[in-house]
Structure 1
Amino acid sequence: MQEWLAASGSGIPGPDRIVSPDSLGRVLLSVASRALRGEDCADLGYQPMLARFRGAPEAVRRAAVARAGGRAAVPVPHAGEIDAERIARWVVDHYPPRWYPGMVLGSPHGGAVHLAIALGVPWLPSAFEVSVHWPGGSVDNPLGALAHGARIAARLIAGNPEVAVRQVHDPASRGVLAGSTVSLMVRWQQLPEAYRRFLGSRLAPGAPVLLLRDARTWPVLDSGAGHTFQLGAAAGALQPADFRPGSELLGQVLRHTGGNCAQWDPPGVSSPQGYAEHGVEPGFEASLRDWVQGTGSPIHRILFPRPGALSAATADVYRGWLREAGKSGNRCVVECGRLIDPWQVVRAGLVPYWCENAAEGSVVGAEWWLAGSAPFSSVDVLPEPPGMHSPGVASLPQWLAVASFGRRRRAVDRTAARGYPITPVPTRHATEVLRGQPYDLPTPPPLRVVDALAALRDSGSPQGLLVC
């Protein structure tokens, strides 16, 4: 608590402390804003929480990570003081003050950020993630997590009626942190005022707006008043059925995180399907449509049924964009999670394929795309270690299989591989690796939105990508 008071004179934490530094959306915002300023990510040295205390015995390490996660999370008394509009102002302040030929908004996805950088436009998230301290919590107590999260969400929504809160309890991806904190996705139900002002003052007249939506579904329990709850995550390695009592995979997860399988008592086993944690609230899209109607700017929606569909389509867009600029487009980098640097990708003339995480399904998607693509002369792979042993995580041989599609160069980053899957590395490590790639200057002129949409339709339609 003293750290919070010292960091924010009024006692109310600022956006830098509220938005979870471990969250994917925060990392993507950081890398996108740097790329638009012509900078790489060499200063992004934050170590994910699960990377801490690596030298300690496993039981000691789990306890230490859980305690550290609880201390770093938003204290419960401050949860009701979170100001979502202030967070929105913090988001747009990341970007240089100039006119932009378009905007990309929506779900967090590395391909969306790469697309925005090729277009020369900002990426704005439709939600932000908050971790709140859970005193006395446990990874094997989803009912307790639901009760604690519902109380916090009620206070948060009371002060911010324009948001909805999706709580995710997922020991498989959050490890012991799922027992010391609750993870809340705070999703705007309408376009924040800061976004409206930013669009009104920075979007060139008549410039297009792209809304990218993650269309994955997941069983969702609606506890009322804007708070919803889901066990597991669509972005994780397990399926909804794996979170039922008696599941062998769930048992492995709980044993790795120090939980007790016999205590697992999930709420809402028969919950109906809803959009998963990275979905966009319908009200957000509706208010965005209302805003653009009076401006003359067209709006285009891009819905992806799984992250790999957008990753593959974006990679194909990049290859065509590079070749139109007279470059080979024959060097590929496969990024993973937070190991991403859009500026270095453009500087080196690389084709980026982004894996959401190290789950087997993500890696298989990269393999299928490479197998169906014209051959690449080189394939460099940056596997992000998840920070824990967990079922469904791709093995190193699977990552090596991805790299094997390179004709002359096949490389899996050794530093990431050395500590895989236990030791995560910071985002700046991707910058260090990509800086070793040969320069391919000058960079291509910005991609036109009309060309990007046509290429996305052509490449993505067979994979279920909807562009409208």
Structure 2
Amino acid sequence: MRPDLTADGAGLAGDRVLAAGSTGRILLAAAVRALRGQDCADLRDPGTPSRFTGVPEPVRRAAAVRAANRVALTPDQAAEVDAARVARWIVDQYPRRCYPGAVLGSPHGAAVHLAVALGVPWLPAAFESTVHWRGGAVDRPGPALDHGAALAARLLAGNPDVHVRQVHCPASRGPLAGATVSLTVRWRSLPTAYARFLADRLAPDAPVLLLRDARTWPVYDAGPGHSFQAGSPASGLDPVDFHPDSHTLRQVLRSVGGDGARWEPPQAVCPQGYAEHGVEPGFELAVRDWAGRRGHRVHRVLFCQPEALSAAVADLYRGWLRRAGKTGDRLVVECGGLLDPWQVLRAGLVPYWCENAARRSVDAAEWWLAGSEPFSSVDVLPESPGMRSPALAGLPQWLAVAAFGRRRRALDRTAARGYPVASVPTRRATEVLRAQPCDLPAPPPLLAATAIEAIRVGAAHQGLVVC
């Protein structure tokens, strides 16, 4: 990212607004670098205290909170967030050239790999910001909602075209859930900067792919433009696990310094809605309307589980590599922010992306590998969540994923050394993949029609909806 790049107008620069270390921001940085022909070696560590590997849990939690507070917005700065300026900042990251298409929608590592194979930009339908919560507590979702409502009101006052989803999830954010408030800001229409970018940079008749995370979660309607969810599907847990009587919840809260007896969600029963990474209906309608008026076809891909898209794109890469005369038999299993699309292309690898280190994510990778043609080489990059949770996969399960390799079975030792509490920098994936043998030249860019047809053919088997 270029921190000195700012757009005209008031408000905070996009570099300041997007939460450091958030999945969406890392994916954007990886996509931009890949289209520039660069890897992710220069990605800055968001401040995760990876060096605290042998200290007591309270010390490690305090260090994590201090690191998060250094990059979070202040409550006053929430009023300075300008979603239109964020959109301008995002599109200004990409090289100025004509593109044969675009990928928009929910944050997903496979979506970025798909965009890079097509040679097109990936544009997120939302962005995440974190804001200070002085005196907060991981085990108090009610006060978190009260604090978040005030922040959302400030943000919405200057951004009427967005929806703010607040997520309070100690199972995925750990002690940070008690120090900062997480706000996912979702555009309810196509940002003007996106529309101008697509109009200026898309080739005539270039297709637009809209990828939507269709997972649901109990959502509390906190007010106009603001909704709240206690827990998240990204935690690897189910909604019932966030009930006050849940033994799993008590385990999670103990591990992050909380008390299960204090957990009181704002409402006992909430209706199901799309989870935080969903796409606002207004955004999708605006994309389809814009594309229809300019002769661009929109292809929608919906996934109810992130691993479905990961499997589809991995299969797509394998076929693409083989048609280019490569083996397509070397796999890298990435996790969270540990990915590097450019190095994947350079080495001629097949990428499979796990959303996080949750046991169900790793289970899905094992099932996909068990049903796939064997790979000669399997490299695994487990991202440490920085906390302990009953939902996490253990190192033996990650080793079982690597064991699917016929000749090479590699679990990154640096990432595994302090797992699951000691994190590694996001650039660690680059360091590992740079050691892979070079398999250049890279295949010619994947044709959008070929990619869409391949995803459509395997949609029913993978659990995708393509329309």
TM-based fold match above 0.5 = yes
Q: Does 1:428 align with 2:427?
A: yes
Q: Tell me, what secondary structure is at the counterpart of 1:238?
A: coil
Give 1:88's aligned residue.
87
Question: Which runs of 5 or more residues in structure 2 are unaligned?
Answer: 1-5
Q: What is the CA-CA distance between 1:131 and the residue it aligns to?
A: 0.2
Instruction: Decide whether aligned partners of structure 1 residues 47 and 423 sit closer, same or farther in structure 2, where only a CA change above 3 A counts.
Output: farther
Give 2:72's aligned residue.
73
Give 2:116's aligned residue.
117
Q: What amino acid sits opposite 2:37 in the alignment?
A: G
Aligned equivalents of 1:63, 1:39: Cα separation in 2: 35
TM-score when normalising by structure 2 = 0.96
Aligned equivalents of 1:34, 1:417: Cα separation in 2: 26
Aligned equivalents of 2:10, 2:73: Cα separation in 1: 12
Q: Does 1:246 align with 2:283?
A: no
Q: What amino acid sits opposite 1:441 in the alignment?
A: L
Give 2:146's aligned residue.
147
Aligned equivalents of 2:50, 2:78: Cα separation in 1: 26
Aligned equivalents of 1:243, 1:277: Cα separation in 2: 16
Aligned equivalents of 2:148, 2:53: Cα separation in 1: 30
Is residue 115–residue 314 contact of structure 1 (8 Å, CA) maintained in 2? yes
Is residue 52–residue 65 contact of structure 1 (8 Å, CA) maintained in 2? no
Matches within 5 A, 1:254-273: 254-273=253-272
Aligned equivalents of 1:178, 1:51: Cα separation in 2: 19
Give 1:440's aligned residue.
439
Q: What is the CA-CA distance between 1:18 and the residue it aligns to?
A: 1.3
Give 1:49's aligned residue.
48
Matches within 5 A, 1:124-163: 124-163=123-162
Aligned equivalents of 2:443, 2:336: Cα separation in 1: 26
Q: What amino acid sits opposite 1:205 in the alignment?
A: P
Instruction: Decide whether aligned partners of structure 1 residues 50 and 229 sit closer, same or farther in structure 2, where only a CA change above 3 A counts.
Output: farther
Q: What is the CA-CA distance between 1:50 and the residue it aligns to?
A: 5.8
Q: Tell me, what secondary structure is at the counterpart of 1:40?
A: coil
Q: Tell me, what secondary structure is at the counterpart of 2:217?
A: strand
Structure 1 residue runs of 4+, over 6 Å off? none
Q: What is the CA-CA distance between 1:326 and the residue it aligns to?
A: 0.7
Q: Tell me, what secondary structure is at the counterpart of 1:302?
A: strand
Aligned equivalents of 2:332, 2:32: Cα separation in 1: 21
Is residue 47–residue 424 contact of structure 1 (8 Å, CA) maintained in 2? no
Is residue 165–residue 184 contact of structure 1 (8 Å, CA) maintained in 2? yes
Q: What is the CA-CA distance between 1:115 and the residue it aligns to?
A: 0.4
Give 1:327's aligned residue.
326
Question: Which runs of 5 or more residues in structure 1 are unaligned?
Answer: 1-6
Is residue 169–residue 183 contact of structure 1 (8 Å, CA) maintained in 2? yes
Q: What is the CA-CA distance between 1:13 and the residue it aligns to?
A: 3.7
Instruction: Decide whether aligned partners of structure 1 residues 48 and 453 sit closer, same or farther in structure 2, where only a CA change above 3 A counts.
Output: farther
Aligned equivalents of 2:434, 2:338: Cα separation in 1: 13
Matches within 5 A, 1:379-390: 379-390=378-389
Give 2:357's aligned residue.
358
Aligned equivalents of 1:50, 1:387: Cα separation in 2: 9
Aligned residues: 461
Q: What is the CA-CA distance between 1:261 and the residue it aligns to?
A: 1.4
Q: What is the CA-CA distance between 1:70 and the residue it aligns to?
A: 2.7
Give 2:397's aligned residue.
398
Is residue 112–residue 123 contact of structure 1 (8 Å, CA) maintained in 2? yes
Matches within 5 A, 1:2-401: 13-47=12-46, 49=48, 51=50, 53-54=52-53, 56-401=55-400
Q: What is the CA-CA distance between 1:67 and the residue it aligns to?
A: 3.5
Is residue 24–residue 338 contact of structure 1 (8 Å, CA) maintained in 2? yes
Give 1:407's aligned residue.
406
Is residue 209–residue 299 contact of structure 1 (8 Å, CA) maintained in 2? yes
Q: What amino acid sits opposite 1:314 in the alignment?
A: V
Give 1:3's aligned residue.
none
Aligned equivalents of 1:322, 1:97: Cα separation in 2: 27
Is residue 92–residue 194 contact of structure 1 (8 Å, CA) maintained in 2? yes
Is residue 48–residue 424 contact of structure 1 (8 Å, CA) maintained in 2? no
Is residue 332–residue 376 contact of structure 1 (8 Å, CA) maintained in 2? yes
Is residue 47–residue 67 contact of structure 2 (8 Å, CA) maintained in 1? no
Is residue 163–residue 225 contact of structure 2 (8 Å, CA) maintained in 1? yes
Instruction: Decide whether aligned partners of structure 1 residues 65 and 52 sit closer, same or farther in structure 2, where only a CA change above 3 A counts.
Output: farther
Q: Tell me, what secondary structure is at the counterpart of 1:35?
A: helix
Is residue 127–residue 185 contact of structure 2 (8 Å, CA) maintained in 1? yes
Instruction: Decide whether aligned partners of structure 1 residues 57 and 11 sit closer, same or farther in structure 2, where only a CA change above 3 A counts.
Output: farther
Deviation digits for residues 289-323 of structure 1 (CA, Å, limit 9, x no counterpart): 11111111111000011000000000000000001
Deviation digits for residues 315-345 of structure 1 (CA, Å, limit 9, x no counterpart): 0000000011011111111000000000010
TM-score when normalising by structure 1 = 0.96
Q: What is the CA-CA distance between 1:213 and the residue it aligns to?
A: 0.2
Aligned equivalents of 1:54, 1:131: Cα separation in 2: 25
Give 2:3's aligned residue.
none
Q: Tell me, what secondary structure is at the counterpart of 1:212?
A: strand
Is residue 237–residue 391 contact of structure 1 (8 Å, CA) maintained in 2? no
Is residue 357–residue 382 contact of structure 2 (8 Å, CA) maintained in 1? yes
Q: Structure 1 vs Structure 2: percent identity of aligned residues?
A: 66
Q: What amino acid sits opposite 1:377 in the alignment?
A: S
Q: What is the CA-CA distance between 1:459 and the residue it aligns to?
A: 2.1
Is residue 48–residue 425 contact of structure 1 (8 Å, CA) maintained in 2? no
Q: What amino acid sits opposite 2:72 in the alignment?
A: A
Q: What amino acid sits opposite 1:458 in the alignment?
A: V
Q: What is the CA-CA distance between 1:11 and the residue it aligns to?
A: 10
Q: What amino acid sits opposite 2:204 in the alignment?
A: P
Report the RMSD for the aligned CA atoms in angstroms.
1.6
Q: Tell me, what secondary structure is at the counterpart of 2:331?
A: strand
Q: What amino acid sits opposite 1:378 in the alignment?
A: S
Is residue 381–residue 412 contact of structure 1 (8 Å, CA) maintained in 2? yes
